[in-house]
Chain A
Amino acid sequence: MEDKRFLLLTIFLALLLFVTGLFSLLLGQVHFPLSSFLKLFGGKSGSFRTIVLDIRLPRFLLAASVGAMLSISGMILQTVFRNPLVDPYFLGVSSAAELGASVAILFGFGATLFGFSMVSLFAFVFALALVFFLVRIIRFVHVEYSRIAVVLIGIAIAYVLNAVNTLLISFKKDIFLESMFWSMRGFNSASINEFWFSTPFLIVGIIFALLKSKQMNIFLSSDITAHSLGISVKRFICLMLCVSALLSSVSAVLAGTVIFVGLFVPHVGRMIVGEDRFKLSITTLLLGAIFLPAFDLIARTIIPSQEIPVNTIASLVGAPFFVFLFFKRGNNGLFKG
C-alpha cells in the first residue's frame, strides 16, 4: 500500500476508534438520553457521570489496550514462526496463566498487591516463567531447529500444566468455577488503574514493533538471509518471543484468556495493508483497539440485563466476519500475502 493511502487509512481507523469509544460510553444496560451525555462535561456529578466515567470509560480503555496488545503479540509470533495460524497463546502462555491462577486460588491467597489480586499476579508470573524457560531452550539448539524446539517443548509443557491444573481442580472442586470465572472474566470488573497498568507494556510493544519492523520484514524471507544481513537470528527470536509473551501475559492478567483477537486481527491488517511490518504494526494496533471494545460492547448490550462473555461474541461475530473478509479479499489475503 502506498504511503499516502496508508496515512488516510490510519486517520480513518483512528476516527473509527474514537467512534467505537463514543458508542462504548453511550450504550449499556442503563439507558440515558443523549442530552444527559452532553451535560457530562458540565461537571455535575450524578449516577450517569459515575456510570460513564467510572465504569464504561475504564472498560472501553482497558478493552482497547488489551485488544491492541494481543493483536501486536499475535503479529509478532506469526512473524517469528512465519506461520499465519499462530496466536498469542500458541506457546502455552494461557495454560501457564490458568495454572498460576488455580494455584493462587487453591492456597487461598486473597491479598492484593498494587490493586491486583494474587490470583492475577500468580498467573502473570507463571506465564512469564514459561516463556523464559522456552527462550533458554533456544540456546542449546541450532538456529534451524529453534522454532520447532520451542513449539514442541512449549506444547509438551502446556500438556503438563493443563494436567496439573486438572489435578488441582480434582482435589478441590470449587477451584474449577473460580479459575474458570477468572480466565473468562473479560472486562466487567475493569478499573482505570488496570488500564494505566497496561499502558507501559502497550507502549513498549508498539515501539518494539515499529523499531524492529525492518528486521521483521527481513525475517519473513529466511533465517540465513537474516543472518547474512547481520541479524543474530537466535537472539532476535528470543527477543520477539519475550516481547510477544509479555504482551499476552499482561493481557491474561487483566482480562483472562481472550481468544481469537490475537489470531485474526493481524490477518485483517494484512488483508488491508499487506505484509510490510511497519504499516502492519500500526494497522494491527488500531484494529485490535477497535475490535475488542466493539466485541465487548456487543457482549454487554445485545441481551438486556444479561452480559455474555466477550470470547463468545469474538467467536460468534468475529469468525463469520473474518470468513466474509477472506472471501472478499481472499486473493490478497491469508495465503498469498
Chain B
Amino acid sequence: MDYLKVENLYFAYEKNKKYVLCGLNLAVNRNGIYVLLGRNGSGKTTLLKILIKYLLPQKGTVLIEGEDLSKISLPELSKKVSFLESEIPYIPLTVSEILSWGMFPYKRHFDAREVSSELNLSGLLSENFNNLSTGEKKRVLLGRLFVQKTKIVLIDEPFNFLDPYYKLEIAEMLKTLSRERIVFITTHDLGVAANLGSEVFLIHQGKIFARKTQNDLFSGNELYEVFGINEKLKEEFIRFYKLG
C-alpha cells in the first residue's frame, strides 16, 4: 500500500476560476526526499497546503496510510504530516520553546538539550528566535520537524534566502530527516533538484508532468518543456547550468 496517495486532485482558489491543480495524481511509499519542481505558480505550495488540510480541494482524494484525508482530524493529522512554510515568521520566543512545539499537544517531558545536541543547536537554546540569522532560524524551524517525528514531512522552499553554507547545512538536515521519513520539498532551483532529490516530480499545468530521478532529470525534453525552454534557448540554458 502506498503511504501517501493523491488521486485526481482538482483545486481552484476561487469558484469558476482557473484550476491550479487539475487531475493531479501522485503516490509515494518509500522514505526519501521528493522534490516538487516547477515554475512559480505551478501549484507546488498549493499541493502541500492541501495535504495538511489548510486548503480543501474541489475534487479528488488524498489517502494517508489508506485513510481518507478528509476523515482525519487536525490533531491526528499533525501526528502523521508535518509542514514548514517558506516564509520565516516573526516569533518572539526562545529556541527551546519553538523546538518544544514538535511535541504539541502532548504534555510529555520534553528535553530540548537532547534534540539540540543532535542538531547542533545547543548553544542557541535560550536565545530569542528573532535575534538569530536567517540560516539559524531555518535550522531551528527544521529542528522542530525532527521533534515532531511524523512519517510525512512537507517543506515549502527550504532553501529560500540561504547562503551556500546554510544551504549545505539544511541539505544535510534534510538528508538525515529523510532516512526515516518521506520528505517533500518544493523548489524551482535546478541545483537543488539535481543533487538532493531521490526523486523529482515535475509539476506543470496542474499535474505531475513527469517523474524523474537525479540521473535522468536533464535527459529527455520534459524539464525544458516545463520551464518553457525552447530549442533556441536550450543551448544557452545548458551552458548556464554547466550541463554540457
Q: Which of B70-78, B209-217, B229-237 contacts A (4 or more CB under 8 A)?
A: B70-78
Determine, out of A96-104, A196-204, A219-227, the stretch whose residues face the partner at the interface.
Answer: A219-227
Tell me if B54 is interfacial: C-beta within 8 Å of chain A: yes
Q: Which residues of B contact A45 (CB under 8 A)?
A: none
**Cβ contact within 8 Å between B104 and A336:** no
Indicate if the CB atoms of A229 and B101 lie closer than 8 Å: yes
Cβ contacts A199-217/B at 8 Å (1 or 0 each): 0000000000000001001
Contacting pair B85 A230 (CB below 8 A): no
A80 to chain B, nearest CB (A): 16
Give every chain A residue within 8 A of B226 (Cβ-Cβ).
none
For chain B, the bracket of interface size reads 20 to 34
Question: CB within 8 A of A217: which of B78, B79, B82, B93?
Answer: B93
Q: A220-B92, A221-B91, A337-B130 are in contact. Are A227 and B54 (CB under 8 A)?
A: yes
Chain B 105-157 residues near chain A, CB threshold 8 A: 105, 128, 130, 148
How far apart are the CA atoms of A334 and B220 in the complex, in Å? 56
What residues of chain B lie closer than 8 Å to A231, measured between beta carbons?
74
The complex places the Cα of A220 from the Cα of B101 at a distance, in Å, of: 12
A220 to B94, CA, bound (A): 12
Asked if A222 contacts B52 (CB within 8 A), the reply is no
Task: Return the chain A residue nearest B100 by Cβ.
Answer: A214
Q: Is A309 an interface residue (CB 8 A)?
A: no
CB-CB nearest in chain B for A82: B90
B30 within 8 A of A: no
Q: Which residue of chain B is the closest to A235 with respect to CB atoms?
A: B74
Is residue A276 contacting chain B, with contact meaning CB distance below 8 A? Answer: yes
Cross-chain contact of A222 among B89, B92, B104 (Cβ < 8 A): B89
Q: Are A228 and B93 in contact (CB under 8 A)?
A: no
B83 interface contact, C-beta 8 A:
yes
Do B74 and A232 have beta carbons less than 8 Å apart? yes
> Which of A217, A221, A224, A230 is in CB contact (< 8 Å) with B105?
A230
- Is the Cβ of A230 less than 8 Å from the Cβ of B54? no
One of B74, B83, B92 near A274 (C-beta < 8 A): B92
Q: Are A214 and B92 in touch, CB under 8 angstroms?
A: no
- Tally of A-B residue pairs with Cβ under 8 A? 66
Q: Is the CB of A229 within 8 A of B130?
A: no
Q: Is the CB of B77 within 8 A of A230?
A: yes
Using an 8 Å CB-CB cutoff, how does the interface string of B215-230 with A read, 1 for contact, 0 for none? 0000000000000000
Chain A residues in 8 Å Cβ range of B83? 224-225, 228
Tell yes or no: A218 within 8 A of B by CB: yes
Do B54 and A228 touch (CB < 8 A)?
Answer: yes
Question: Could you tell me if A214 and B104 are in contact, using CB atoms closer than 8 angstroms?
Answer: yes
CB distance from B99 to the nearest CB of A (A): 12
Shortest CB-to-CB span from A279 to chain B, Å, is 11
A228, B91: Cβ atoms under 8 Å?
no
Check if B49 is an interface residue, CB within 8 A of chain A.
yes
In the assembled complex, the Cα of A275 lies from the Cα of B129 at a distance in Å of 12
Asked if B189 CB lies within 8 Å of chain A CBs, one says no
Given the known inter-chain contacts A227-B54, A275-B92, A336-B92, please indicate yes or no for A222 contacting B78, CB distance below 8 A: no
Q: How far is the CB of B214 from chain A (nearest CB, A)?
A: 28
Tell me the interface secondary structure of chain B in the complex.
mixed
- Report B-chain residues with C-beta under 8 Å of the C-beta of A276: 93-94, 97
Asked if B87 lies at the interface with its beta carbon under 8 angstroms from chain A, I say yes
In the complex, which residues of chain B have a beta carbon less than 8 angstroms from the beta carbon of A336? Answer: 92, 130
A222 near B105 (CB under 8 angstroms)?
no
Residues of A within 8 A of B89 (CB): 221-222, 225
Q: How far is the CA of A25 from the CA of B120 in the complex (A)?
A: 56
A17 to chain B, nearest CB (A): 27
- Across the interface, which residues of A come within 8 angstroms of B54, CB to CB? 143, 224, 227-228
> What's the least CB distance linking A144 to chain B, in Å?
9
A220-B93 in contact given A227-B54, A229-B78 (Cβ < 8 Å): yes
Contact status B97-A228, CB under 8 Å: no
Minimum distance in angstroms from B133 CB to a CB of chain A: 16
Tell me which residues across on chain B come within 8 A of A230, comparing CB atoms.
74-79, 104-105
By beta carbon, the residue of chain B nearest A218 is B101
Chain B nearest Cβ from A86, distance in angstroms = 16
B residues within 8 A CB of A232?
74
Q: How far does the alpha carbon of A224 sit from the alpha carbon of B84 in the complex, in Å? A: 9
Docked-complex contact B130 and A228, CB < 8 angstroms: no
Q: Which residues of A contact B130 (CB under 8 A)?
A: 336-337
Within 8 A of B (CB), among A87-146: 143
Using a CB–CB cutoff of 8 Å, the interface residues on chain B facing chain A are 49, 52-54, 74-79, 81-83, 85, 87, 89-94, 97-98, 101, 104-105, 128, 130, 148
Given contacts A221-B90, A227-B53, A227-B74, 17 further A-B contacts (CB under 8 A): A143-B54, A220-B92, A220-B93, A221-B89, A225-B89, A225-B101, A227-B52, A228-B52, A228-B54, A228-B83, A229-B78, A229-B101, A230-B76, A230-B79, A230-B104, A230-B105, A337-B128
Selected A-B contacts with CB under 8 Å, 27 pairs: A143-B54, A214-B105, A220-B93, A221-B98, A222-B87, A224-B54, A224-B85, A225-B83, A225-B85, A225-B101, A227-B52, A227-B53, A227-B74, A228-B52, A228-B81, A229-B148, A230-B74, A230-B76, A230-B77, A231-B74, A232-B74, A274-B92, A274-B128, A275-B93, A276-B94, A276-B97, A337-B93
